[in-house]
Structure formats: C-alpha cells, structure tokens
A and B are shown apart, each in its own frame.
Chain A
Amino acid sequence: MPLIDKGSDTNIKLFINNRKYLLLSILLVWGAVALMAFAIKPQVKLVFSLRNNLTQEKDQYQNLVRKINELKQIEISQQFQQSEKVNEVFPSHKPVLELLSNLYQAMQRADVTVSALKINPGEIATESAEVIIAEPAKATTKKSVATKEQKAYSALKLDLTVNGEQENVDEFLQLVERISPFTSIVELNIKKTFNQEKDRTVTEAELLLNTYYYTQNITSNISDQLPSVGEKELKAFNTIQQFMPSDFRPSTEIESADLEDLFGIKGLF
C-alpha cells in the first residue's frame, strides 16, 4: 500500500508539474463562474434596485422642491394676501355674533325694521376645522374618513321678519345675500298691508336665512402638491370682494364685569 501511495503522489506531482496551465485554467473558469454567481449577479440586482430607489427619491425631491417654490409663490400671491376676506365670508366657527352684527348693518343701510328674530345657535362648542400633518400611510385613511363622515360646511338658521317700504325691503333682500358670513335666503314670504295711520303700504318680509360656516378637517401630506385655484374659484373670490364690508370687531377684553352677580339676577327672587 505505501508503495502505491508513493506512486500516486508522484503521478499527481508529475501531472501538476506538466499540466499546471490546464489546472490554472480550470481554476480561472471556477473563479469566473463564482465571481458571476456570487458577486456580479447580486450586485447587478442591487444596482437595479438602487437605480429604482434613486429615481423614486429624485421624483420625491423634485416634488418637494416644486412645493417649496409653490409655497414661496403663495406668500407673494395677491389672492392669498386677501385670504382674510375669505375667512370673514366663510369662517371656521359658528358665526353668530358676526351674523347679527352684519345683519344689523344691512338693516340700517336699507332702512328696514326688525319685528321678529329667532336664532338657534345649537351647541356652542363644535368640532372646528383643524390641520393634521399626517404620515403618508395614515394620510389616506384619515382623508377617506374625513370625506365620508364630514360635511364640508354647516348652516346656521335664522328666522327674521323685517318691515319697511317696498323698495327698502327689496334693497335689504339684496343686501342680505351680500353680507359676510355667506348667507342665503331659503324661505321668503312677502306681505303687504295698508297702514292707515301713516297712509301708506308697508311691506313685511318673513325670511329664513341659512348662514354657512366651514367644518371640514384638512389632511395634508408633506409630499402632496398644493392645490391650485381654478378660474371659477377666482371669480367667486372676486365676487366676495364686493360683499358688504363688515364692521364687526370681536371683543378682546372685558369692559366691565360683576363676578358677584354675573347675570344681574341678584334681588330678583
């Protein structure tokens, strides 16, 4: 056995010595195959994946840059600088005080008198419009919930009866749809009665007014593009600029207060 082993070793050494290029060639083939299978193929896959990612990220970056530019444009946009008027016409809260104040202004201007007024403001605290800056995954869910469950606006109803000359009542009816907050006449009954004392016909108009206010939540995603203002919206914007200017200024301080008797009922019982 050792003799055979010795002979075999010699043969192998002889073979290696004589055919070393062949052996090196075999090694090269194996090396090339291994390189392709274990290094190039995974790297090529990785390169494609990285390229796709890079394209997506570049697109996202372009969108963000566009958004930054749009935000810069917004800041100097003439319409947006007058957005206060839009908030005045369509506030994000129940505009009871604004409505009463501006109605009074319209009545004075049209020279009509009020004989009855009924308003039911309902709950004082309502869910106000709010901004949610959401993560992309959450944004879709929240948006769909918002559109399904929430109406974009609510209406505050007001019953009103006004009296005056025919032309004054007509003027008031026109003015009432041009006050802020956005108000529409949804019911109207006009009666004419002859006032013998004053020897003239007095017109009485019973109105049901709907005053609208904004109630929708807005969900925004950081990479979402900003919406643009359409042509019709611009026309609406120009129209509300012609609405009757409001004199209403919200109170910011308590001018007088009696904490002992807040509602002035002391001594009534």
Chain B
Amino acid sequence: MISVNFLSKINQKLSRQQEKDNKIFKVLLVVFGVVFAIFLVVFASSFYLRYRLKSVKAQIEQAKKQINAEQQLEANYLFFVNKLVIIRELFDQRADKQIATGYFSNLLGPNIEISGLNYDMETSILSLTITSPHIFYLEDVFQALDDQEVKKNFATFEKSNLSRQMTGEYSFVLTVGFTDESELMTVETEYEE
C-alpha cells in the first residue's frame, strides 16, 4: 500500500501564504507608521498654534490695556482732528464769499461800493448790494458784469432790484451761486493770508 503524505504540500502552501501575509503586514505597518506620523505632526501643529494663539491673545490684552490707559489722549486727538476737518470745511464755505467779494470789489473799481451782503453758507448763494454814485458808473458796472469771462466763474449769476435813491445813487442786487466747479473759487487764497 502506497502511503500519500499531503501534509508537506499543505505546509508549503501555508508557508507561502504566511510569507505573503508577512509582506503585506510590513507594507501596511509602514503605511500605518506614516499615518501615525502625520497624526503626530498635525497634533503638534494644533498644539503649537493653540499656544501661539494664547500668547498673541495675551499680547492683545496687554496692548488694549496700554491703549485704554491713553484713552483721554486718544479722545482729545479725535476731537482735535474732527474739529480741524470741520474748521477746514467752514473755511472752504466762507472762502467763496470772501473771494467773490474781493473779486467784485477789484472788478468794479474804487468808485463802486458793495454796500450790502447776504450769504447762505449751506446753499453757497451770495447776494451783494452794489451801489453806484451815479448813472454813468452804473453803465460801466453793467458792462463789466455782462462780460462772459466774469459770468463763467459762477454757477448762477443774476442782477435784480435796481433802484435809485434820493441822493442820485443807484443800487442793485447781484446774486451769484457757487459750485465745486466754480472756476474763481479756491480756498488757498484765505489760507495763504
């Protein structure tokens, strides 16, 4: 009787399988090691960032305390700047009136008097009462004012209320309006004084 031993074959097959398993295990061990290393890196980063955040927050608190200690100085400075901005605006608005009055005074000459003024700073409308000692000067005034070179300096330009006084003087109201584009108006003149 011939005896057949299958155990040797089975053992060989099993050994090959175990070797293969071992290889897979080693590869996966390396993969797991890499994943674990990534975990460690990420965890360390998170820990470091928490630490940095805490430290920056502490610095912020310290800086805030320092700023709070200077609260009065900051408030005074804010008022200072805000007031300067408004003063500059008021200068700008007022400059229209001052420059236009000076302009007409020069344009009309020494014989003509600006005897009245009304200025609305919010709408930038200026009304000047212009008085001429007699009719001949008045004609010169109208001629000067009708010049297109004069009119183009203002957004609106209107003459009204012409009247004659008992003394022979003539007066009328000249109303001019300003816009930002008014060519004549520049605040620099007042600042340079």
Contact = CB atoms under 8 A, between A and B. Distances in A.
Interface stretch (B63-71, B142-150, B153-161): B63-71
Contact of A80 (B42, B45, B77, B94): B77
Nearest to B59: A61
A258 B50 CA distance: 71
Nearest to B119: A186
Interface size class on chain B is 35 or more
Interface residues of A, number: 78
A74 B81 CA distance: 11
A64 B57 CA distance: 12
B21 A22 contact: yes
Interface string B102-130: 00000000000111111111000000010
A90 interface: yes
19 contacts: A24-B25, A32-B31, A36-B35, A39-B39, A43-B46, A47-B45, A57-B53, A64-B63, A68-B67, A71-B67, A75-B73, A133-B71, A153-B90, A189-B116, A214-B79, A216-B86, A218-B79, A233-B81, A233-B85
Interface of A: 18-22, 24-25, 28-29, 31-32, 35-36, 39-40, 43-44, 46-47, 50-51, 53-54, 57-58, 60-61, 64-65, 67-68, 71, 74-75, 79-80, 83, 86-87, 89-90, 92, 129, 131, 133, 152-153, 177, 182, 184-191, 210, 212, 214, 216, 218, 220, 222, 226-230, 232-233, 235-240, 242
A189 B117 CA distance: 6
What secondary structure prevails in chain B residues at the interface with A?
helix
Nearest to A227: B81
Interface of B: 14, 17-18, 21-22, 24-25, 28-29, 31-32, 35-36, 38-39, 42-43, 45-46, 49-50, 52-53, 56-57, 59-60, 63-64, 66-68, 70-71, 73-88, 90-91, 94, 97-98, 113-121, 129, 187-188, 190-191, 193
A57 B77 CA distance: 26
A3 to B, nearest CB: 23
Given A182-B90, A184-B121, A61 B84 contact: no
Nearest to A39: B39
A243 to B, nearest CB: 11
B91 A131 contact: no
Contact of B67 (A54, A67, A189): A67
Nearest to A75: B73
